[in-house]
Amino acid sequence: MALSICKRVCQFCKKPRLVFASRGLFTDNNVSSKSPKDKVKFASCPPRILSGIQPTGIPHIGNYVGAIKNWVSLQQKYDDVMYSIVDLHSVTVPQDPVTLRQNIYDMTACILACGIDPEKSILFQQSRVSEHAELAWLLSCLCTLPRLEHLPQWKEKSAKVKEPGVGLFTYPILQTADIILYKSTDVPVGEDQIHHIELARHLARTFNRNFGVIFPKPNALIGEIPKIRSLRNPQSKMSKSEINPLSRIELTDTADEIQEKMKKAVSDFTPTISYDPENRPAISNLIDIHSAFTDLFPDEICENAMLMNTIEYKQRVADVVITSLKPIREEIIRLQQDKPYLDSVLQKGSERAQNIARQTMAEVKSLMGLI
C-alpha cells in the first residue's frame, strides 16, 4: 500500500494532524515492509484494540495525556477494546510484593476514574491470564537472539543494570504475545514502541508461515500528541523514575501541590510567552500541557497570554490542570477505598480476556502438534 500524507482531525483532541493515510487514522505505515515475506498471508479479523500499562504507581499527567485519555476516546470509537494492567512486565526489574500489589489496585482505580468503562472495554490484569506466559514461551522458540539484540530498548535498559535479567531481554516477546493472543488488529503505542510492533508482525508472520494462518497483522496506532516533558528538565519526558517529585504532576496531587510544582517548573529568561520547542523547551512544555487539557492550539494560547509574564502564565496553567484533574482525583480516592470493587472489575475482565485467550491457544497448540 502506498504511503500518503493528509491533514485530518485527531479523534483524541479534535485538532488537525498530519497522519499517514491507511486503514486506521493513526496507523503508522513506517512499520510495514515490502519484502517478499509480506506475501505470507495474515488472517482477516474484525478490528480489535489492545493496549497495556504497567502498574508503577499513580500515573502522572504525561501518562494521562499520552495514553489513558486516548484509551477513553478509542473506547467510544471501537466496539472491541481491551486494556491490560501488564504486571508481568513490571517484574522484569525487582519489585516489592506489597508495593506491586498496591500499585495494581491504584492503576486500576486511576484508569476507571479517567473514564474507562469496564462494560464497554475489557479491563484485565495480565498475570490472571496464564495464556500470556504460555504463548510467550512458544513464540520465544520462533524468535532469534539477533532479533532481540537489535532492539533499541534492550540496549538502553541493559546499560542501566549491572546484571540485566533474561526477562528484561525477552519481554518484547511477551509483549508480542499480549498483542496476538487476542488477535488484535490495532495497538495504541508511542513512537518508541514501533520496533516492538515490528517484532509482533514478524512473529505473527513467522507463525502463520510455519504452522497456519491464524494471526492478523497488528497495526500501530500513533496519535500526534505532544510528549509532556519533565517540569525540572524539559529535555527529558515526564517520568515516574525521576527522583525529584517536583518534575511531575500526578493525578492525585492536591491543588496546592500542583501550584507548587508549577511555580517551581523551570523556565527561561525571556519574559514573554511563545511556543518554540527547540529554543524555548521549558515554556513550550507548559504550553503543551495547557493545550492537552484545553484542546487549544499553541498559537491560540500564546495569543491569549500575550500580556502575561512567565509567573502569571504558570498560574494559569496550574489553574487549568487543577480544574481538569479535580473530578478525576476525587474519583481515584473514592475507588482506592473500595478494593473489593476493584478486584471484581479485574476478575471479571480477566475472565472475559481468558475466554478469548483459551480459544487462541487451542488453535496454536493444535497447529503446532501439542494437542
Active site residues: 157, 237, 240
Which one, of 293, 283, 240, lies nearest residue 58 by Cα? 240
CA-wise closest residue to 127 among 306, 341, 350, 280: 350
Those residues with Cβ within 8 angstroms of residue 129's Cβ, 6 or more apart along the chain or in another chain = 181, 350, 353, 354, 357
Q: Which one, of 219, 165, 215, lies nearest residue 189 by Cα?
A: 219
Cα–Cα distance, 280 to 267 (Å, whole number): 8
3-state SS assignment for residue 330:
helix
Q: Where are the alpha helices (DSSP H) in the chain?
A: 61-63, 69-77, 87-90, 97-114, 131-140, 145-149, 152-158, 166-180, 194-210, 255-263, 281-294, 298-304, 310-336, 339-368
How far is residue 277 CA from its own chain's centroid? 23
Q: Give just the sign of the alpha carbon dihedral 45, 177, 103, 345.
A: positive
| CB contact at 8 A, 75 and 116 | yes
Residue with cell 481468558: 354
